[in-house]
């Protein structure tokens, strides 16, 4: 699961993982990625 490497914290809500990471300016960024087969949903949030 390469998703986990980028994030300092990963939570899971059903099939959706939400990772929290800091960008180059130290701001928190959140990325949601669905792990369901054939879904491929992912989205970035501030
Ligand atoms: Zn999905």
On the question of pLDDT at 3 being above 70, the answer is no
pLDDT at 7 over 90: no
- Residue whose entry in the numeric block shows the structure tokens 């949903």: 41
Report the separation in Å between the CA atom of 6 and the middle of ligand 1, taken as the mean of its atom positions. 20
User: What is the Å distance from ligand 1's center to 44 Cα?
Assistant: 14
Is the pLDDT at 14 greater than 90? The verdict is yes
Instruction: Over range 9-20, report the average pLDDT.
Output: 94
Angstrom distance (rounded) from CA 33 to CA 44: 9
pLDDT band of residue 46 (cuts 50, 70, 90) is confident
Q: How far does the centroid of ligand 1 lie from the alpha carbon of residue 1, in Å?
A: 16
Q: What is the residue extent of each domain of the chain?
A: 3-45
Percent residues over pLDDT 70 in the chain: 89
Residue 4 has pLDDT above 80, yes or no: no
Ligand 1 center to 33 CA (angstroms) = 8
* Residue 43 alpha carbon to ligand 1 centre in Å: 11
Q: 18: Cβ–Cβ under 8 A, 6 or more apart, which residues?
A: 10, 11, 12, 30, 31, 32, 33
């Amino acid at each position: 699961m390469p998703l986990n490497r980028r994030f300092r914290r990963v939570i899971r809500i059903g099939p959706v993982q939400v990772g929290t990471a800091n960008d180059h300016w130290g701001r928190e960024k959140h990325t949601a990625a669905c792990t369901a087969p054939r879904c491929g949903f992912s989205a970035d949030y501030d």
